[in-house]
Chain A
């Protein structure tokens, strides 16, 4: 391995690694804009200039591969002056409109001009070159050409990642700008990533624009629930409102990207939420208390089993539930209600679209987990629906806001065949409009657990903030229901459930939250 000395520190560096990457490993921060670890090296922003012994000129750290014995300094006066000089040139035509720019607070340009103290401009204000602002270039993106530093990350992303090449450089010299071709807006399902990789405020998200200053947001690690890919995301929130999802890097799953559909899934965690438990009496909603409703639901399910036999009780599981929840639900149904009528479906209305990158046809985060935990899909679900339609079920527990791909009318008609329907769900929907008892569930941002992706990768999603209204963690709901059905469970939280799951379920054997870690772990085959 080549040896590199940087600012007096000597380290071994893997063959072929750049100075910039090697420096990052030992905490030497080299400012940069055009460099992005997931894109090709452009070397055109010229911010990462460093001094290398025996090189007459400063070199770009991003594009210079470490050779054995290389001696690099990033802290000399020569480097400082050069980098300050490049930064000044980047700023001369920039509008410096940070107070009204969405990127403020997470802007590489802003960070560096503060750091290098370039508060006074040597450039005459009247000489600034003006370019087009607020251009809707399609997808989720707005372009402000004046803020652009022409680093080419977006152009390379659309060339190398999506292959759609909608953005290109136009004109030359200080009139250069990026733009779409006339009449050809962004046309791919990954446009949101452009706002993420843009190091400045040139490409901003239409969805997030002007909604919140970024420094007011907090973030937690989550998993996208938009499909079975299991893209790792950072969820950004303020109070109990989610503002945006950003891809969290995981080379095994989504690298540094996520799709435009997934990016907007946070909205349903903010809107039309079920906030209080209620029962439906003579068609009218009547707010209920958890303390009385939970025992009531348990009693009704048990009573139906006792009266008509366990075969007249059914449970519909949801692939939106976590592994932990599905594990408890299966045990509740099979062990404590004693019914075989347990199934789920991965089908939802409008599903099926997929591509060869991230987007999967299955629009649920945990269909694979449900299958691995022994909950049947497909024909078993269809059979259960037929049985319900035929009036064969007296009490039904439904997890989720929808029953498969059924429309609101179809759901209402189906559930009308069952005398007692209890639902555990997060949002208003076809089921909550028809169920007898509704138990509001915490959203994925308000609870924690694991999902199993389509390839069998178990990944953790973390707790963000306390559940809205009176919604409860479904693990708590299930433990409470189970215990009223005689389960005698002493689970406290999803972690204890996962320990039990890992002990008894072969695909998950030997797994723990620790072993899953930040990036997930594949189930045993």
Chain B
């Protein structure tokens, strides 16, 4: 299958500008400058490029939300805050092919008539940020960023901004607040960033992978990109597989790949002949699937039909022998720790979930605790400004719905049947 992003990722030098250009880098930018901004946006729309940050919103449609009025400056913000547990695909792009992102930024900015772009990179990505900084400096030195890029008359400044270590800052409006130097709290919408975003400017926030796909779309055309995937899900996706499989890692696959195939073929199957118990398909927030549910294509609509999400395509493989209560407890600790504290249901609810699940795992669960968790989930889901509460609730509900007997057994036996201890 044709690769959009990762063809040269095995080459360590691909991160350098000269090597990137040897392989045809920045030719797409030249081509874009010969096109009109509208024509570029049309190609992205035709490409059926869905946002790769988790929600899967069509990128071309999102770009269309910018106001038509050009009197106010606009901004492009790249969400490189990859913080979803189980997700590590953007990191690969930034370390292996940073110029894919930078070229994508230049093309997208030209299409969106943006002259200021910020790459908001996760605070823990120290090495990645350094590589990105070097790549941005190379691009400036080569006249690929800055004033009058490639003689086109188009100006663009790109700033790499490191976050300070909060999961919530991957949510686009708290990312903007954080970028502005404020506390990373999601903003109440409306107004949406496309009307009032970074520093008050109309702003488009896109994921790293989404933007990195843009040069290929410009070179080969939107239709060609769309054809790599399935209906409504164009192109390829970087899928990160973690857990006890033979070849964990990031793979570029068609947007319509089969999940079972991903685990058993692409990732080489289960390690040491372990049996598969469950799969979290798209990063820790997405509802868990039982082993018998994974024979499904990985596109957004197919996953939604079985009640889960392809999310950030971080596939977490869970083998037999894993205590699902403990696994959920780990996740609940994470969300309780990362809740920003703004909305009541999430601030108090994530902490309560953590304590309830932790108590069951410790063998101190009480009759009715499982029902209490489900009722609490119901009181949190969809009740907050951003989706962090939902992100905590979805695993909690799905773990209980699909592995209820393990929770009941913990309570009945007043211990963890797997002997797990914190």
In the complex, what's the smallest C-beta–C-beta distance from A209 to chain B, in angstroms? 27
- B355 contacts A173, CB within 8 Å? no
- B340 contacts A90, CB within 8 Å? no
- A127 contacts B355, CB within 8 Å? yes
- A150 contacts B383, CB within 8 Å? no
**Bound complex: CA A49 to CA B349 (Å):** 17
- B188 contacts A176, CB within 8 Å? no
**Bound complex: CA A104 to CA B355 (Å):** 30
From known contacts A44-B344, A46-B345, A176-B347, infer whether A86 and B336 are also in contact, taking CB-CB under 8 Å: no
**Bound complex: CA A198 to CA B352 (Å):** 25
**Bound complex: CA A43 to CA B378 (Å):** 20
Smallest CB gap from A173: residue in B:
B339
Residues of A near B372 (CB, < 8 A) are 122
Within 8 A of B (CB), among A30-55: 41-47, 49
Residues of B near A43 (CB, < 8 A) are 188, 385
Q: Is A172 an interface residue (CB 8 A)?
A: yes
From known contacts A122-B372, A150-B347, infer whether A173 and B337 are also in contact, taking CB-CB under 8 Å: yes
In the complex, what's the smallest C-beta–C-beta distance from A404 to chain B, in angstroms? 50
From known contacts A85-B378, A173-B351, infer whether A44 and B383 are also in contact, taking CB-CB under 8 Å: no
- B338 contacts A173, CB within 8 Å? yes
Q: Is A57 an interface residue (CB 8 A)?
A: yes
**Bound complex: CA A171 to CA B349 (Å):** 16
Q: How would residues 311 to 346 of chain B score, 1 for a CB under 8 Å from any chain A CB and 0 otherwise? A: 000000000000000000000000011111111110
Within 8 A of B (CB), among A126-183: 127, 129, 149-150, 168-169, 171-176
- B188 contacts A41, CB within 8 Å? yes
From known contacts A85-B379, A89-B379, A127-B355, infer whether A173 and B188 are also in contact, taking CB-CB under 8 Å: no
**Bound complex: CA A56 to CA B350 (Å):** 23
Residues of A near B336 (CB, < 8 A) are 173-174
Within 8 A of A (CB), among B371-397: 372, 376, 378-380, 382-385
Residues of B near A49 (CB, < 8 A) are 383
A63, A81, A89: which contacts B345 (Cβ < 8 A)?
A89
- A46 contacts B344, CB within 8 Å? yes
Smallest CB gap from A56: residue in B:
B382
In the complex, what's the smallest C-beta–C-beta distance from A175 to chain B, in angstroms? 8
Residues of B near A171 (CB, < 8 A) are 341
Q: Is A93 an interface residue (CB 8 A)?
A: yes
Residues of A near B341 (CB, < 8 A) are 150, 169, 171-176
Residues of B near A168 (CB, < 8 A) are 183
In the complex, what's the smallest C-beta–C-beta distance from B228 to chain A, in angstroms? 32
Q: Is A123 an interface residue (CB 8 A)?
A: yes
Interface extent on B, as a size class?
20 to 34
Choose among A45, A85, A123 the residue with the greatest number of B CB atoms under 10 Å from its CB.
Answer: A85
Residues of A near B347 (CB, < 8 A) are 89, 150, 173-174, 176
A88, A93, A169: which contacts B183 (Cβ < 8 A)?
A169
Q: Is B2 an interface residue (CB 8 A)?
A: no
Choose among A44, A81, A122, A175 the residue with the greatest number of B CB atoms under 10 Å from its CB.
Answer: A44
Q: Is B348 an interface residue (CB 8 A)?
A: yes
**Bound complex: CA A119 to CA B355 (Å):** 22
**Bound complex: CA A46 to CA B376 (Å):** 15
Residues of A near B379 (CB, < 8 A) are 81-82, 85-86, 88-89
In the complex, what's the smallest C-beta–C-beta distance from B64 to chain A, in angstroms? 22
**Bound complex: CA A41 to CA B342 (Å):** 13
Residues of B near A516 (CB, < 8 A) are none
From known contacts A58-B383, A174-B336, infer whether A123 and B344 are also in contact, taking CB-CB under 8 Å: no
**Bound complex: CA A424 to CA B350 (Å):** 65
- B351 contacts A129, CB within 8 Å? yes
Q: How would residues 66 to 103 of chain A score, 1 for a CB under 8 Å from any chain B CB and 0 otherwise? A: 00000000000000011001101110110000000000
Within 8 A of B (CB), among A361-403: none
In the complex, what's the smallest C-beta–C-beta distance from A192 to chain B, in angstroms? 26
- B344 contacts A45, CB within 8 Å? yes
Residues of B near A58 (CB, < 8 A) are 382-383
**Bound complex: CA A47 to CA B345 (Å):** 10
From known contacts A44-B342, A82-B379, A89-B379, infer whether A174 and B385 are also in contact, taking CB-CB under 8 Å: no
From known contacts A44-B342, A44-B343, infer whether A174 and B383 are also in contact, taking CB-CB under 8 Å: no
In the complex, what's the smallest C-beta–C-beta distance from B296 to chain A, in angstroms? 24
Interface secondary structure of A, over-half rule: loop
Choose among B347, B351, B376 the residue with the greatest number of A CB atoms under 10 Å from its CB.
Answer: B347
- B385 contacts A172, CB within 8 Å? no
Residues of A near B183 (CB, < 8 A) are 168-169
- B337 contacts A86, CB within 8 Å? no
Residues of B near A42 (CB, < 8 A) are 188
**Bound complex: CA A313 to CA B378 (Å):** 82
In the complex, what's the smallest C-beta–C-beta distance from B284 to chain A, in angstroms? 16
Residues of B near A88 (CB, < 8 A) are 379
Choose among B166, B345, B350, B380 the residue with the greatest number of A CB atoms under 10 Å from its CB.
Answer: B345
In the complex, what's the smallest C-beta–C-beta distance from B292 to chain A, in angstroms? 30
- B378 contacts A44, CB within 8 Å? no
- B344 contacts A89, CB within 8 Å? yes
In the complex, what's the smallest C-beta–C-beta distance from A134 to chain B, in angstroms? 22
In the complex, what's the smallest C-beta–C-beta distance from B2 to chain A, in angstroms? 38
A41, A57, A123, A172: which contacts B340 (Cβ < 8 A)?
A172
- B385 contacts A89, CB within 8 Å? no
Q: How would residues 274 to 291 of chain B score, 1 for a CB under 8 Å from any chain A CB and 0 otherwise? A: 000000000000000000
**Bound complex: CA A89 to CA B344 (Å):** 7
Choose among A57, A88, A149 the residue with the greatest number of B CB atoms under 10 Å from its CB.
Answer: A88
From known contacts A42-B188, A173-B336, infer whether A85 and B345 are also in contact, taking CB-CB under 8 Å: yes
**Bound complex: CA A150 to CA B183 (Å):** 15
Residues of A near B385 (CB, < 8 A) are 43-44
Smallest CB gap from A124: residue in B:
B355
- A172 contacts B338, CB within 8 Å? yes
In the complex, what's the smallest C-beta–C-beta distance from A168 to chain B, in angstroms? 8
- B344 contacts A86, CB within 8 Å? yes
A46, A127, A175: which contacts B384 (Cβ < 8 A)?
A46
Choose among A46, A82, A122 the residue with the greatest number of B CB atoms under 10 Å from its CB.
Answer: A46
Smallest CB gap from B346: residue in A:
A173
Residues of A near B340 (CB, < 8 A) are 172-173
Residues of A near B345 (CB, < 8 A) are 46, 85-86, 89
Choose among B337, B355, B378 the residue with the greatest number of A CB atoms under 10 Å from its CB.
Answer: B355
Residues of A near B349 (CB, < 8 A) are 89
In the complex, what's the smallest C-beta–C-beta distance from A85 to chain B, in angstroms? 3
B350, B378, B380, B382: which contacts A173 (Cβ < 8 A)?
B350
**Bound complex: CA A276 to CA B166 (Å):** 69
**Bound complex: CA A173 to CA B347 (Å):** 5
Known: A86-B383, A172-B340. 8 other contacts (CB 8 A): A82-B379, A85-B379, A88-B379, A129-B351, A172-B337, A173-B336, A173-B337, A174-B336
Sample of 28 A–B contacts (CB below 8 Å): A41-B188, A43-B385, A45-B344, A46-B344, A49-B383, A57-B382, A58-B382, A85-B345, A85-B380, A86-B344, A86-B345, A89-B345, A89-B347, A89-B349, A129-B351, A149-B344, A150-B342, A168-B183, A169-B183, A172-B337, A172-B339, A173-B339, A173-B341, A173-B347, A173-B350, A174-B336, A174-B347, A174-B350
* 4 nearest CB pairs, A to B: A85-B379, A176-B341, A174-B351, A89-B348
Interface residues of chain A, those whose CB is within 8 Å of chain B, are 41-47, 49, 56-58, 63, 81-82, 85-86, 88-90, 92-93, 122-124, 127, 129, 149-150, 168-169, 171-176
